[in-house]
Amino acid sequence: MTGFDAAAAIRAKRLHDRAAELDAADGLAALRDRFLLPEGVVYLDGNSLGALPAAVPDAVEDAVRRQWGTDLIRSWNDNDWWDAPTRIGDTVGRLVGAAKGQVVCGDSTSVQLYNALTGAARLRPGRTLLLTDPDHFPTDQYIADAVARTLGLTVRRVPVRELPGVLAADGPDVAVAAYGPVDYRTGELYDMAALTDAVHAAGAVVLWDLCHAAGAVPVELDAIGADFAVGCGYKYLSGGPGAPAFVYVAARHQDAFDHAITGWHGHAEPFGMHGTYTPAPGISRARIGTPPLLSMLALEAALTAFDGVDMKALRAKSTSLTGFFLDCADTLLDGLGFTVATPRDPERRGSQVSLRHEHAYPMVQALIARGYIGDMRAPDILRFGFNALYVTHADVAGLAAELLRITEEREYADGRFAARSTVT
Amino acid sequence: MTGFDAAAAIRAKRLHDRAAELDAADGLAALRDRFLLPEGVVYLDGNSLGALPAAVPDAVEDAVRRQWGTDLIRSWNDNDWWDAPTRIGDTVGRLVGAAKGQVVCGDSTSVQLYNALTGAARLRPGRTLLLTDPDHFPTDQYIADAVARTLGLTVRRVPVRELPGVLAADGPDVAVAAYGPVDYRTGELYDMAALTDAVHAAGAVVLWDLCHAAGAVPVELDAIGADFAVGCGYKYLSGGPGAPAFVYVAARHQDAFDHAITGWHGHAEPFGMHGTYTPAPGISRARIGTPPLLSMLALEAALTAFDGVDMKALRAKSTSLTGFFLDCADTLLDGLGFTVATPRDPERRGSQVSLRHEHAYPMVQALIARGYIGDMRAPDILRFGFNALYVTHADVAGLAAELLRITEEREYADGRFAARSTVT
């Protein structure tokens, strides 16, 4: 703790000790061994790319050498490649409260959004509005605009707080509301059940983007009566870089799901080689083309990190981590130009805490140089994801201490942290 | 050769000897060592799933353990993940006659078709027809119908032979012609240059599906003035199961390329987190969402199997293999109920030979049981792909001999070969 003044050093030591107590009492601590975390790194960017689960390397090697190399084309049957999208979909479904037969894995989130949003809007012919969040992740907004264009709809950007009012006023015109339960910048968690009810009261359907929710916060798609959802595989699900996304189509909508990208894997008889499209029954119609099997099987292996995990206990640890970081920030970083962007009410918080600071970019670079990996989002957000499967309270206390050091010593002003790189 | 009559045995022996001569004179024979082919298997289904290139396992392990596991999120910069779609695209481009900056890798063929076909049709506003081949691979037809529906176009299915006539008659109404240069069932190869010219003479644009052409037959997209192309990574490119597809957008169309799925990776400033879409300049606008990196990097490693390969020499070997198989079939299989579905003119032949037989399905199963892996396509096609990088003339002679045995001994009538499995 050299460089801190004496009072700060005492406060940091107290937080360090408190972290040790919390970690000692953590019933999920052993889950960390399900990940291969590099030495010297505290990884707080699992909300952008999850860490490597220990089960993945062997599974991928088997997929490459035995399934592809030796079994070759026979793997479509013998190693169940054909069923991978629905099989892995069911596994993801368990993490988001979806009974079997409602989730398919494959493609990117952007593609799944395009496909599902088209199918969702077609359920409400004659309605002209597609509502989405002006603070939604960019691709969600771009895809909403793209789908609205082809279907002749109008996109209206309505902040979450104003959504119930707009639905009450203009509900009969609304076809779809496309929202995320967690703000990707601030980590604010919205009430999915209440918003779903409000959308339904207007006679519209809801499409949830679960990218920052799946595996991170409790999601009960079936219980709240959600219509559609999409999400990515590479954040809290730790499925690997660009891991395939997933789509949920509630069973009651599947027969009428009239989606955009009618690829042959979604055909009722894909090997009949028919010239016109007849959608498969059930969730299989949400399949599109041939999925990237190596990435799919990596995701499947990664999901075993959740085997036997009590999602309520995981959520409790997550709120403990995020709450503790807020305590740390209050204790160590007060008066240093930070503001907390994330709600203090744990019920309104995802598994992430974001701070704002005018020097966010070089600060995050300086943190990374010190082995604490978070990320930033323009213009001024330092974003830290706390994957409760592998992050400890000691990591959190260390993060706060490093932020104090970087700020007090103005380390972020070092020229080597100023340059912008392609991806932050 | 037990079981053959004496005359057939002599003919088979002559073909076997001729194969040995041809292989001894094969200047590309050493390329076979760039693949890890299983013992006891002759692999003639590389037109469905290419064999495993020797460079892939280590590359994938590095991608998993070092790039993902150790470097984590930093790999987007430090290991050039961000540039993978255009970098690998350029590598594919070299195999299909595309100068740099015109090809992007990622997503499935179905998704790329949807996206590119939309962009292609929007280049010709006011024109109402989308022409495609009634014998095109199913997903091409389904996607043509899907795109036409959203854009208010009409799909007309016109066989390749009738295409010039239809273009001459109804050209001013045609927006796009979407065809493949190789018939996926028969292996017939069409004249891409002449058809491209005919499409252009009508003022329309052409979209080529190169799934059965890339890496298999000479393709010169720039030289023939093609407008758009898509293709898959997992057939003759041997990129692995479900390897990402690619899309070619000719440089002259890129500024006006107004595609369907406006994902954030195609944005001019993807990390600016803007709420509206501004397409990136150049080919990057054809990027969609986050690509499946493990599958992408497997494809990239696989493409090194083409390093330094003279594509003209590869084509010469391919026509030698397919021609030799036709000789073998004529010599050994005459009068046994087979008909040749593939043109005998090597100029009109892809890297595949298809035979028709009423018992095609169980015959292919019996062949597989004997270690000769081909596939079948409904209703009656036995399909054999000859990837000249790793198939030998001895493989071809052996295939014909096995077919003779299976037919003469009516082995295909064995009940164990009759049941249909999910994927053939």
Residue corresponding to tokens 């255009």:
B86
Decide if A146 and B262 are in contact by the 8 Å CB cutoff: yes
Q: Is the pLDDT of residue B420 over 90?
A: no
Q: Mutation target for B interface from A35, A36, A81, A108: give the one with most B CBs within 10 A.
A: A108
As annotated, the binding site of B for pyridoxal 5'-phosphate includes 109-110, 137-140, 209, 212, 234, 264, 290
Q: Which residues of A are catalytic?
A: 137, 209, 234-235, 383
A146-183 confidence digits (pLDDT tens): 999 999 999 999 999 999 999 999 999 999 999 999 99
Strand order across the beta sheet in which B154-157 lies: B103-105, B246-249, B228-231, B205-209, B174-179, B129-132, B154-157
pLDDT of residue A217: 96
Q: Which residues of B touch A55 (CB under 8 A)?
A: none
B183, B209, B375, B380: the active-site residue: B209
Write down the H helix ranges in A279-337.
Answer: 293-303, 311-332
Residues 6+ away with beta carbon under 8 Å from B243: A292, B232, B233, B234, B237, B295, B298, B299, B302
CA–CA distance, B368 with B42 (Å, rounded to integer): 9
Q: Would residue B383 show up in a list of annotated catalytic residues for this protein?
A: yes
Q: Which of B69, B107, B378 sits opposite A108 (nearest CB)?
A: B107
Our CA-based measurement puts residue B302 at a distance from the nearest CA of chain A, in whole angstroms, of: 12
Q: Which of B76, B106, B274 sits opposite A138 (nearest CB)?
A: B274
Q: Is the pLDDT of residue A419 over 70?
A: no
pLDDT of residue A420: 58
Q: How far is CA B83 from CA A207, A356, B106, B251, B281, in A?
A: 31, 30, 12, 18, 14
Our CA-based measurement puts residue B244 at a distance from the nearest CA of chain A, in whole angstroms, of: 7
**How much is the average pLDDT of A315-319?**
98
Burial of B335 (0-12, 13-18, 19+ CB in 10 A): exposed
Our CA-based measurement puts residue B320 at a distance from the nearest CA of chain A, in whole angstroms, of: 25
Q: The tokens of B203 are what?
A: 């003022």
Decide if B141 and A276 are in contact by the 8 Å CB cutoff: yes
Decide if B110 and A263 are in contact by the 8 Å CB cutoff: yes
Distance of alpha carbon B250 from the chain centroid: 20
What residue segments make up the domains of chain A, in order of their start?
Answer: 6-34+309-417, 56-306
Q: Which of the two residues, A416 and A213, has the higher pLDDT score?
A: A213
Q: Which long-range contacts (CB under 8 A, 24 or more apart) does B269-277 make?
A: B270/A138, B271/A378, B271/A422, B271/A423, B271/A424, B272/A378, B273/A138, B273/A185, B273/A377, B273/A378, B274/A138, B275/A134, B275/A138, B275/A141, B275/A157, B276/A141, B276/A142, B276/A145, B277/A141, B277/A142, B277/A145, B277/A146
Q: Is the pLDDT of residue A18 over 80?
A: yes
Q: Which residues of A touch B267 (CB under 8 A)?
A: 138, 142
CA–CA distance, A218 with A195 (Å, rounded to integer): 15
Burial of B125 (0-12, 13-18, 19+ CB in 10 A): exposed
Decide if B110 and A368 are in contact by the 8 Å CB cutoff: no
Centre a 10 Å sphere on the Cβ of residue B408 and count the other Cβ atoms it contains. 15
Q: Which residues of B touch A234 (CB under 8 A)?
A: 290
B184, B234, B361, B412: the active-site residue: B234
**How much is the average pLDDT of A3-24?**
92
Q: Which residues of B touch A230 (CB under 8 A)?
A: none
Q: Which of the two residues, A422 and B109, has the higher pLDDT score?
A: B109
pLDDT band at B86 (very low <50, low <70, confident <90, very high): very high
Q: Would residue B184 show up in a list of annotated catalytic residues for this protein?
A: no
Q: The tokens of A351 are what?
A: 């598994």
Decide if A290 and B244 are in contact by the 8 Å CB cutoff: no
Q: Is the pLDDT of residue A128 over 50?
A: yes
Decide if B108 and A110 are in contact by the 8 Å CB cutoff: no
Q: Is the pLDDT of residue A6 over 90?
A: no
Our CA-based measurement puts residue A327 at a distance from the nearest CA of chain B, in whole angstroms, of: 27
What is this model's ipTM? 0.97
pLDDT of residue A378: 84
Q: Would residue B209 show up in a list of annotated catalytic residues for this protein?
A: yes
Decide if A423 and B294 are in contact by the 8 Å CB cutoff: no
A264 is in an annotated binding site: yes
**Cβ–Cβ under 8 Å, residues B73 and A48:** yes
Q: Mutation target for B interface from A73, A132, A293: give the one with most B CBs within 10 A.
A: A73
Q: Would residue B137 show up in a list of annotated catalytic residues for this protein?
A: yes
**How much is the average pLDDT of B373-379?**
91
Task: Provide DSSP, A30-59.
Answer: GGGGGB-PPTT-EE--TTTS---BTTHHHH
Nearest residue in A to B122, CA atom? A150
pLDDT of residue B423: 47
**How much is the average pLDDT of A286-295?**
98
Decide if B263 and A108 are in contact by the 8 Å CB cutoff: yes
Burial of B203 (0-12, 13-18, 19+ CB in 10 A): middle
What percent of chain B clears pLDDT 70, i.e. is strictly above it? 98
Decide if A150 and B150 are in contact by the 8 Å CB cutoff: yes
Nearest residue in A to B144, CA atom? A262
Our CA-based measurement puts residue B378 at a distance from the nearest CA of chain A, in whole angstroms, of: 7
Q: Which residues of A touch B276 (CB under 8 A)?
A: 141-142, 145
Task: Residue A412: name the closest of A350, A382, A379, A367 by CA.
Answer: A367
Decide if B134 and A271 are in contact by the 8 Å CB cutoff: no
B383, B384, B386, B390: the active-site residue: B383
Q: The tokens of A27 are what?
A: 């019933």
Cis peptide before B138 (omega within 30 of 0): no
B43, B114, B137, B325: the active-site residue: B137
**Average pLDDT across chain B, whole number:** 96
Q: Helix crossing, A138-151 with A109-122: angle to 10°?
A: 40
Q: Is A280 helix (H, G, I), strand (E, B) or coil?
A: coil
Q: Which residues of A259-279 are buried (b: 16+ CB within 10 A; e: fewer)?
A: bbbbbbbbbeebbebbbebeb
B205-238 confidence digits (pLDDT tens): 999 999 999 999 999 999 999 999 999 999 999 9
Phi and psi, residue A4, nearest 5°: -80, 150
pLDDT of residue B415: 85
**Cβ–Cβ under 8 Å, residues A217 and A182:** yes
Decide if B263 and A111 are in contact by the 8 Å CB cutoff: yes
Nearest residue in B to A232, CA atom? B290
Q: Is the pLDDT of residue A138 over 60?
A: yes
User: Among 3.40.50.2300, 3.40.640.10, 3.40.50.1360, 3.30.470.20, what is the CATH number of B56-306?
Assistant: 3.40.640.10
Q: Which fold has domain A6-34+309-417?
A: Aspartate Aminotransferase, domain 1 (3.90.1150)
CA–CA distance, B199 with A223 (Å, rounded to integer): 54
**How much is the average pLDDT of B69-80?**
97
Q: Is the pLDDT of residue B161 over 90?
A: yes
Q: Is the pLDDT of residue B134 over 90?
A: yes
Q: The tokens of B387 are what?
A: 């990837």
Q: Count interface pairs A-B at CB distance under 8 A.
A: 279
pLDDT of residue B403: 96
pLDDT of residue A1: 43
Q: Which of A64, A77, A241 sits opposite B422 (nearest CB)?
A: A77
Decide if A292 and B377 are in contact by the 8 Å CB cutoff: no
Q: Which residues of A touch B41 (CB under 8 A)?
A: 72
Q: Which of B56, B146, B273 sits opposite A64 (nearest CB)?
A: B56
Task: Residue B184: name the closest of B329, B365, B378, B373 by CA.
Answer: B378
Q: Which of B143, B276, B290 sits opposite A145 (nearest CB)?
A: B276
Q: Which residues of B139-158 are buried (b: 16+ CB within 10 A; e: fewer)?
A: bbbbbbbbbbebbebebbbb
**How much is the average pLDDT of B353-364?**
96
**Average pLDDT across chain A, whole number:** 96
Q: Is the pLDDT of residue A107 over 60?
A: yes
A186 is in an annotated binding site: no
**Cβ–Cβ under 8 Å, residues A236 and A247:** no
Q: Is the pLDDT of residue B421 over 60?
A: no
Q: Is the pLDDT of residue B10 over 90?
A: yes
Our CA-based measurement puts residue A284 at a distance from the nearest CA of chain B, in whole angstroms, of: 14
Decide if B146 and A260 are in contact by the 8 Å CB cutoff: yes
